[in-house]
């Protein structure tokens, strides 16, 4: 079994017509954060601290109706 001669692929006219509208897409995005000054860094740090405290200490209590249903089901 030898190699077969391969014919070059025929490109459809439609694909050829619309190739000019295709844009090259980069494989990986390069995201860089903007440089903040000392004031900006301080504000960002304070905001992060506030969010951390909020997430740590703010425990949402279950709704009153839910508590009542649970208590009724346990009886």
Which DSSP letter does residue 19 get?
Answer: G
Residue range 5-39, pLDDT digits in tens: 778 888 888 888 888 888 777 777 777 877 878 88
Total domains, the chain = 1
In a domain, 30, yes or no: no
In a domain, 18, yes or no: no
Site of tokens 């009724």: 72
In a domain, 46, yes or no: yes
- In terms of Cβ atoms closer than 10 Å to its own Cβ (0-12, 13-18, 19+), residue 37 is exposed
Instruction: Please give the biggest Cα pair distance in the chain.
Output: 82
In a domain, 59, yes or no: yes
Q: Which residues contact 5 (CB under 8 A, 6 or more apart)?
A: none
**Global confidence as pTM:** 0.36
In a domain, 50, yes or no: yes
């Amino acid at each position: 079994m030898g190699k077969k001669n391969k014919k070059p692929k025929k490109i459809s006219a439609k694909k050829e017509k619309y190739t000019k509208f295709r844009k090259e897409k980069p494989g990986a995005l390069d995201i860089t954060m903007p440089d903040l000054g000392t004031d900006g860094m301080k504000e960002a740090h304070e905001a992060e601290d506030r969010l951390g405290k909020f997430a740590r200490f703010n425990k949402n209590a279950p709704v009153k109706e839910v508590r009542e249903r649970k208590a009724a089901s346990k009886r």
